């Protein structure tokens, strides 16, 4: 079986940080996968993602969340970022994880779509699992940088962030 996931970069935060940016991303892959594992300073905080330093209202999010007893959904358009944990939120005390697939990131002629999965195992904001579909509607461009950050607090010390490239099989 061919190895298709290749780690591009990984970091473990040595101190709390509002955001972290993966920059100078090569166009050598077909897709990207962003993985975040850790906690945040504010219970229930969402992680956000932005491409190419774009802070304009070019993002849309649609999410479906299940907590084991309740299912909810939400939608936002004209947002300034994509969300990881839009409804589920991250925990300040229990390790959560999020995985975002970024399709066709190097194509300079199309808008970019993402699919994310977020898992919060327990706590006051969980348990919960959420799927989020995102769209970046800026002028079509290849993605060369990915910012991941906390929406309202900080990502805690020890959070691990990894960006993978998917090679054509």
59-113 tens-digit pLDDT: 999 999 887 788 888 899 999 999 887 666 778 888 889 999 999 999 999 999 9
Average pLDDT, the chain: 90
Domain boundaries defined on the chain? 5-166
CA distance 129 to 163: 21
pLDDT of residue 1: 47
The arrangement of secondary structure in 5-166, i.e. its CATH architecture, is Sandwich (2.60)
Going by their DSSP bridges, the two strands 31-38 and 160-166 should be labelled as antiparallel
Phi, psi (degrees; rounded to nearest 5) at 166:
-105, 120
pTM: 0.92
């Amino acid at each position: 079986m061919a190895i298709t996931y290749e780690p591009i970069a990984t970091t473990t935060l040595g101190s709390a940080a509002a955001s972290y940016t993966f920059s100078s991303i090569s166009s050598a892959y077909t897709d990207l996968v962003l993985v975040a594992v850790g906690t945040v300073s504010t219970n229930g905080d969402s992680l956000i993602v932005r491409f190419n330093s774009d802070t304009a209202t070019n993002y849309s999010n649609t999410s479906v969340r299940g907590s084991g007893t309740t299912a909810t959904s939400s939608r936002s358009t004209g947002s300034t970022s994509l969300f990881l944990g839009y409804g589920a939120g991250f925990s300040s005390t229990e390790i959560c994880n999020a995985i975002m697939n970024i399709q066709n990131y190097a194509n300079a002629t199309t808008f970019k779509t993402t699919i994310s999965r977020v898992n919060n195992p327990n706590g006051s904001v969980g348990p919960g699992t959420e799927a989020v579909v995102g769209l970046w509607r800026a002028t079509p461009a290849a993605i060369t940088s990915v910012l991941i950050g906390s929406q309202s607090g900080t990502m805690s010390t020890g959070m691990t962030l990894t960006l993978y490239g998917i090679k054509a099989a």
